Chains A and B, each alone.
Chain A
Amino acid sequence: MHELGISRNIVAIVGEAAAGRRVRRVTLEIGKLSGVMPDALAFSFDLVAQGTPLEGAALEIRQIEGRARCAACGAEFAAPSFLTPCACGSRRLAHLAGEELNIKSMELED
């Protein structure tokens, strides 16, 4: 349940940026290979947001698909898991996308 710790970080970062104003919506970018489950994150976010300017804010999670580049042949391909090999058979890969844990934006009330 590291999603609880992740939620605390989100509430702290957004709360600081909001500088006392109420937050209506938070948009996140979560990679599908990040090890963070969107459902668990949404659940723990609501708990952690209670009593803060983020209480009741909508959480929008944009999931990012995994992508990798093969170190052997240079091909770029969709990698739904860390175990997805390149079509050439190589497993020496650089993961280009899918591990994101980012806060994109927030929407504030007037």
Chain B
Amino acid sequence: MCHVCGCDSHDTHEHVHADGTRHRHAHAGEHVHLEARILAKNDGLAARNRAWLGERKVVALNLMGAPGCGKTSLLERSIRDLRGSAPVLVLEGDQATANDAERVRAAGAAVVQINTGTGCHLDASMVAKGLVELDPPAGALVVIENVGNLVCPALFDLGETRRVVVLSVTEGDDKPLKYPHMFRAADLVILSKTDLLPHVEFDPQRAARHARELNPAVEVIELSARSGAGLPAWYAWLQKDSLTAVSGPSSVQSTPAGSKLSLA
């Protein structure tokens, strides 16, 4: 079909319009409507991951933040502090090396390293493979540590239960405004390295206010994995009914059935 006029001609052709004007145009090729969502494949795989986690009664967090914001340090400390309660397993995303996986393993967690090569973010298909390899037991907490990057990971649903963004006090307190997609998609913002606050010009209240300007419902926790300040609030968040109960909705997509996480 000619997409210029909608007729069935396949060659240069002439038309007479209702008002008597004539014009000729070349056949312009077959025009096909697709109306497809570009990320449909990723989102479909993410939905499968979410269902898979729900069936297993596993809670998964997508842990994001800039390189060096303290994601791995928080993870190491949390694994040590939570030992003996719910099993914590880790999917570790980095462009290269297994350094973070080794740190997390040394802290006592089962871990699968995903190297993205030139990729700047994890996607749902990488996470699907990683989850099968990790094989988390029922009631486990899986932390998916995304590639350090405040831009690209925001667009890719992994099938996680909740999204957590770490912002360290050595960064600017205006970062939520500079990277709106990331902070808009977050369920929880962690302001990390608060032991360094006396040495830097970072106003935690301003950072929290900026995050809420984008995302009024977002929760904010200040902590230091080094000193331990604020960690009880983080562990309490992990045990919240809304996270661990049957139907807690994520800001990204609804969450399927999952059992309570027992972080006694």
Contact = CB atoms under 8 A, between A and B. Distances in A.
A92 B216 contact: yes
Interface SS of A by simple majority: mixed
Contacts of B34: 13-14, 17, 103-106
A81 B179 CA distance: 12
B32 A108 contact: yes
Contacts of A101: 37-39
A39 interface: no
Contacts of A34: 155
Contacts of A107: 3, 28-32
Nearest to B176: A83
A74 interface: no
A103 B38 contact: yes
Contacts of B120: 1-2
A83 B180 contact: yes
Contact of A109 (B3, B29, B155, B180): B29
Interface string B196-207: 000000000000
Interface string B78-112: 00000000000000000000000000000000000
A90 B252 CA distance: 22
Interface residues of B, number: 34
B37 to A, nearest CB: 6
B137 interface: no
B152 A13 contact: no
B116 to A, nearest CB: 10
Contact of B155 (A17, A28, A35, A108): A35
B158 to A, nearest CB: 13
B33 interface: yes
A5 B121 contact: yes
A48 interface: no
A9 B29 contact: no
B155 A2 contact: yes
Contacts of A83: 177, 180, 213-214
A102 B37 contact: yes
A12 interface: yes
Interface string B29-62: 1111111111111100000000000000000000
Nearest to B184: A82
A68 interface: no
A86 interface: no
Interface in A83-110: 83, 91-92, 101-110
24 contacts: A2-B152, A2-B156, A5-B121, A5-B123, A5-B152, A6-B38, A6-B39, A13-B38, A14-B34, A17-B32, A35-B154, A82-B181, A91-B213, A102-B36, A103-B34, A103-B37, A104-B34, A106-B34, A107-B3, A107-B32, A108-B29, A108-B31, A108-B32, A110-B29
Interface of A: 1-2, 5-6, 9-10, 12-14, 17, 24-25, 28, 34-36, 81-83, 91-92, 101-110
